[in-house]
Amino acid sequence: MRILGIIFMSLSLTGGGFLLAEYKRERLKMLVQLRQMIHYLKSQILYSNATLPEAVDEVGIQFENQENDREQGWRPSSFFQDVSQLLEEQGNRPFSEVWRLAAERIPPGVSLTKRDRENLRSLGGKLGYTDRNMQERTLLFYLEQLDETTSNVKEEVEIVGKLYRTLGVAAGVFWFVLFI
């Protein structure tokens, strides 16, 4: 029984390292998806001459269809769908307020950092009251921020992810050797 407990504890330590590495990889995946959606939002506003609410709705629909088969749980397209739904329900509220409310409704278990969430939340405050040219500049600035963050997270995934997995395995082996 003791050996079985030691084996399970070693496996859980190893799994913990892999779980932390997966969290980093999931964050990178979400940032890349968010970048694609913001880019599509910009295209809808600039080239399709869609209003901001129409563009947000279109992004939610377009990417929901693409993500539907791949993932369960919260997805970046859920955010845009939430904004669109809130705009329909609360049409008298300013766009920036609706965007902020939707950003605050992102579940806490989602692998976006506090800074990622804050950047997303502040984007809506800058979009809701400006003209088309200013919206384009705002979206381009946010895309630059996402590119920088994504680049940093890619490096983290490679370096820190490998470190987490290695430390998890080492801790598991150490635990096993220590108590055998």
Distance between CA atoms of residues 105 and 171, nearest Å? 37
CA dihedral 48, 51, 56, 60 (to 10 degrees): -50
Predicted model pTM: 0.80
Range of the domain at 49: 2-179
Distance between CA atoms of residues 106 and 99, nearest Å? 11
Burial class of 178 by CB neighbour count within 10 A (0 to 12, 13 to 18, 19+): exposed
Q: How many domains does the chain have?
A: 1
Q: How confident is the model at residue 37 (pLDDT cuts 50, 70, 90)?
A: very high
- Least-confidence region, from 22-36, 118-132, 134-148: 118-132
